[in-house]
Structure 1
Amino acid sequence: MNASHPRLTSLAHGGGCGCKLAPSVLQKLLTDLPGPAAVFPKLLVGSDNADDAAVWALDDETCVIATTDFFMPMVDDPRDFGRIAATNAISDIYAMGGAPIFALAILGMPIDKLAPDTVREILAGGASICAEAGIPIAGGHSIDCPEPVYGLAVIGTGKKKNIRRNADAKPGDTLILTKPIGVGIYSAAFKKSALDAAGYDELIASTTQLNRVGATLGTDDAVHAITDVTGFGLLGHGLEMARASKLRIVLNADNVPLLRQAQALAAQGFITGASNRNWDSYGAAVQLPADAPASLRALLTDPQTSGGLLVACAPDDAGRLLAQINQAGFAAARVIGHAEAGDAAIVVR
């Protein structure tokens, strides 16, 4: 890269959902803020349980679903950056069991460091994913910013009966994860030029796959709760579900799907700073096997960008639902554990 075309990742101190504030910091910021649901009864889902999007009841049947998500680049190709950021933002709508209807762009760029064509490619990447999802980018807002930032505010709709919160998992539920984990580890390796072409292609394929299966899962009564797995890692978002649903989650580490090189790269030390911040924030509520290697903790706390859906469903229907998810294009989806009565925590076996 020359001076007029620097690596996008060189302009940012972090990348992807690894940019998120640590869970403990976010919790402190939100403590003592008034609960909006108590004042606005039509707000069916707010910030109370760290769910994926806000949900507002228009009437007895129809809801509006709203979210926003943006971050700094985790890859250098501007179009890929735009595609990943858009896929990640739209995922929040699908994770609630809804369908997106339009988006607004959020853009912050160091205009003295990036050529206009580069910025245009970022926007084109985001627009291509929105087109794939069948929605327009209807507007947005842009600023001059020291680091490149891109994302979307997304509006969706859904039937009230199809909304799937992270708070409605039930004891005995089977847990399914729809995408493999290891995105943060791949990103760390990429920044140090240690990710090969096959690994990069796998990274892009995973992070640009729309989680549209969530809208279908929301129509199934056997599906009780859904959340998407992003910057807090599988353990962090699993713990949010456990706390919101007031139960314990048990994970089978051997069943968790991984990107093909994730385990080897983690063992070589390609771990993000966000992974350690995640563990410091919630590790006290997680029980790992006594003989667990350090790489296991790194994988389970790895910040995912545009990760998969964590689905809690009736155990008798798990096989049918898993087959449906696989047929929808999520070949790596697996049953990874179950929920049970107990204090809100995660036990890894």
Structure 2
Amino acid sequence: MGRITCANVLSDLYAMGVTECDNMLMLLGVSNKLSTDEKEIVVKLIMQGFRDCALEAGTSIQGGQTVVNPWMVIGGVATSVCLPSEYCQPDGAVPGDVLVLTKALGTQVAVNVHQWLIEQSDRWRQVSTVLTEQQARQAYQSATRQMARLNRTAARLMRQYNAHACTDVTGFGLLGHANNLAACQKADVSMVVHNLPIIAGMAAASAHLGGAFGLLRGTSAETSGGLLVAMSRTDAAEYCKALEATSSSDGGGAAWIVGVVEAGSRSAVIADKPRIIEVNAAGNTE
């Protein structure tokens, strides 16, 4: 939870192509439902995870705030001072660009399915007709690994391969963040998503539950998701190759061309019957 939160906070810098963070603050809400022993263990582990991820990103925590809260909540702030040449403006997408996504979708579904499995709930019994226990556990592990993975390498390469615009995909889902990105472009463009790379098994689970979470509609919330980058088709192909060639320990991984930028009215849509790309535990497509 600590690592994932830190990676999520840093992605706001990475979405601008800023790879160096000067300072981080950690904001922690400690649940008043935890016992003294639980606080001693859980709070330390969460803080350690946040700190370890910050160190991996080449930065450190210089302060923050802790409060007592009904729930366990963690967040943070990441700041950096840099020259205009050291970041990418998020408003330069033009017709003919393509959209690249650097992490698979489906984290919300994977986490919920895993919780249902643990509880052996009615929801699990329903989804177990299309998903085995092993598939559910693998999906959860895949989601956890990618949520904890920094977008730092993706941000560095984004600048190298001439990104025109970028956002990170988090709580508003792929479609929500694509809409936000399209709305802030200088050119009159629209963004159309044709491909949905999804953690293996999660598309089937969502569909079996009547479209639960809106995963195939692009509205399922993601946590510490990938970067959604607009760039030329030629640069995008090279960008994907370069990112896939980096090791996972360096924050790299798979990337997919998921859509196109067209002349339009600064909005985004998911195409009818988008292509579903199943992404397995190794980050490979099936």
TM-score band, normalised by shorter chain: 0.7 to 0.9
CA offset at residue 135 of structure 1? 1.2
Partner of 1:106: 27
Distance 2:94 2:111 in 1: 35
Q: Does 2:91 align with 1:167?
A: yes
Say which SS state the counterpart of residue 159 (structure 2) adopts. Answer: coil
Q: Does 2:77 align with 1:153?
A: yes
Partner of 1:225: 165
Are the counterparts in 1 of residues 101 and 229 from structure 2 also a CA contact under 8 Å?
yes
Q: Does 2:16 align with 1:82?
A: no
Are the counterparts in 2 of residues 169 and 241 from structure 1 also a CA contact under 8 Å?
no
Structure 2 residue corresponding to 1:326, chosen from 224, 244, 248: 244
Distance 1:189 1:262 in 2: 9
Are the counterparts in 1 of residues 15 and 167 from structure 2 also a CA contact under 8 Å?
yes
| 1:259-298 to 2 correspondences below 5 Å | 259-269=199-209, 275=213, 296-297=216-217
Relative to structure 1, the CA distance from residue 97 to residue 264 in structure 2 (aligned partners, 3 Å threshold; closer, same or farther) is same
Partner of 1:207: 147
Are the counterparts in 2 of residues 163 and 218 from structure 1 also a CA contact under 8 Å?
no
Q: Does 2:13 align with 1:93?
A: yes
Structure 2: segments with no counterpart, 5+ residues? 118-123, 125-132, 272-286
CA offset at residue 137 of structure 1? 1.2
Q: Count the aligned residue pairs.
A: 245
Distance 1:240 1:171 in 2: 17
CA offset at residue 215 of structure 1? 3.5
Moved more, 306-315 or 263-272: 263-272
Distance 1:261 1:159 in 2: 43
Structure 1 residue corresponding to 2:54, chosen from 112, 124, 130: 130
Are the counterparts in 2 of residues 109 and 147 from structure 1 also a CA contact under 8 Å?
yes
Distance 1:348 1:151 in 2: 30
Are the counterparts in 2 of residues 101 and 156 from structure 1 also a CA contact under 8 Å?
yes
Structure 1: segments with no counterpart, 5+ residues? 1-80, 277-294
Partner of 1:243: 183
Are the counterparts in 2 of residues 189 and 270 from structure 1 also a CA contact under 8 Å?
no
Letter of the structure 2 residue corresponding to residue 106 of structure 1:
L
Identity score, percent:
32
Letter of the structure 1 residue corresponding to residue 228 of structure 2:
L
Letter of the structure 1 residue corresponding to residue 51 of structure 2:
A
Distance 2:58 2:69 in 1: 30
CA deviation digits over 1:7-33, x for unaligned, max 9? xxxxxxxxxxxxxxxxxxxxxxxxxxx
CA offset at residue 218 of structure 1? 4.8
CA deviation digits over 1:198-227, x for unaligned, max 9? 222111111011000244135336211111
Q: Does 2:240 align with 1:335?
A: no
Bigger RCO (CA 8 Å, 6+ sep): 2
Are the counterparts in 1 of residues 175 and 269 from structure 2 also a CA contact under 8 Å?
no
Letter of the structure 2 residue corresponding to residue 258 of structure 1:
I
CA offset at residue 315 of structure 1? 2.1
Partner of 1:279: none
